[in-house]
Amino acid sequence: MLHGLAVVVAVMGLQVTGASTDGTGESLYTRVRPIERDMIGLVREGYDRSPTFRQLVDTIQRSNVTVWVAPGLCAGGRIRSCVVSVSGFEQARYIWIKIDPQHTIKSGLIAAIAHELQHAVEIAEHPEVTDASSVVKLYRGIAFGRCREGLSEECETARALDAEKAVLIELLPKRRKAPS
């Protein structure tokens, strides 16, 4: 099992400084919005190299959720990625996630983004989730461990762990079979 990832419910604003583009100025995806150049590159590489990552982005594209991806610390640096804020209303919701670029190598960062995008998909599936209290209520029902028991607001789901693992496997270099 992978450790160190969680949905952390907090209220925080992030400043938008960029969006991913394909070099022509056209957005590849409009509802997943990485900010800062490194995050743009990680999201683009995940989208290009991992079918699971691409499916998560495409699912978000079809939703009413916009996800901002930013570098930053989660839980004082104890975990490497988190959902930090959910706001909006049933017709348009905004989710901010953070990825700590100091925690792992590039493939791990892409997988951590996928992990948090899976959490965004989980939120997108529930139109009633529009703020921190409704996020906590959702994760009390779908998470496992201390969160589900009401003992923590750091929540984890099997679907997010599975998405992260799938992306890591997809990003591994393909080995060639030795000639017989």
Q: Please write the tens of the pLDDT for every residue from 13-42.
A: 333 333 444 454 445 689 999 999 999 999
In a domain, 55, yes or no: yes
> How much is the pLDDT for 178?
64
Q: Is 101 a domain residue?
A: yes
pTM over 0.75: yes
Tell whether 179 is covered by a domain: no
- Residue-number span of the structural domain to which 113 is assigned: 7-169
Place of tokens 């989710």: 95
144 pLDDT band, cuts 50/70/90, is very high
Q: Is residue 177 part of a domain?
A: no
For the beta sheet containing 65-71, the strands, ordered from the edge strand earlier in sequence to the opposite edge, are 32-34, 65-71, 92-99, 81-89
SS3 of 135, please?
Answer: helix
Q: Is residue 2 part of a domain?
A: no
The Cα angle at residue 52 between residues 175 and 36, in degrees rounded to 5: 100
The reply to whether 155 falls in a domain is yes
175 domain residue, yes or no = no
How confident is residue 5, by pLDDT bands cut at 50, 70 and 90? very low
CA 155, 160, 162: angle at the middle one, nearest 5? 135
In this structure, is residue 71 part of a structural domain? yes
Count of domains forming the chain: 1
pLDDT 10s digits, 149-173: 999 989 999 999 999 999 999 998 8
